[in-house]
Structure 1
């Protein structure tokens, strides 16, 4: 049965070959191969990023190397502009009150902590006595052993007195609370001046 089928297929191929030769001349090889065997259909081709880009595309890159001078300036800075190297400070002073070091043009940090704590105590006393109501009148701070200075009644009008139950620190001058617009006082306390 199989040999007869193969003979039949051969006869059909010869007939096709002769008919095609008579009408179209020599058939193209692709057409002839299509009749010889039926290849499996090709799978759809998947496009990848590599197919689209190919070898790649150029981006903005430096064309020349940085010189050693420019590299060092970027790393360490330059004396004409900004110098990034750590340098020793030559503006260090010694505080005459506590002996700690501080930079000129600044307050001594150790002494300032004492002032800050004293100021917080005064603020707490003000809040304790006057509560949180707005303070629209001047407040006078009196330490232990200090009397109300002799002033006319007009001076005390509208002022509030806060009493601290301790002695006045030696660095806290009475003149510090005076306004600069007032007339010079007769007290012998001197305002601190040597703040560098």
Structure 2
């Protein structure tokens, strides 16, 4: 998450859109991705709401039109987490000036192989989160809500969360903390 300090009143250098295919079951749909991106790009221009029945073809066309217009405006950073879970035809052959496209993919995915062959593509392999990193993410998120998980020897709720299969993903930990903030007691 990008945060600006209260002292810094300047406008951000670029707009940022983030999209995660793990956010919901429907988030792995290319139509859902395009709908989200197009609506955000429309909002950026104070354009009208996207009609709910917009076709896939129209979404693709509008998405690419908006991207190509961006170089005349404020730059855009577009993050798509789990991009290899969606068909790659939405990705422009040429990334327009003023657009930075960041895709998270698994190392063995076909999308990673395809993109690594593109001119100008940069790859940053990331390892799994360490246990101290996971612990810090959870504790910092929960403290924002005035919450904390027990780490006592008899009821180690923090350890239970950190040992879950999905805890290797920062997004999983974030979503788990979002769910936990609603409980007065974490026994459930």
TM-score higher than 0.5 here?
no
Q: Which has the larger radius of gyration?
A: 1
Considering Cα pairs closer than 8 Å and 6+ residues apart, tell me whether 1 or 2 has the greater RCO. Answer: 2
Task: Give the TM-score, by structure 2 length.
Answer: 0.21
Higher helix share: 2
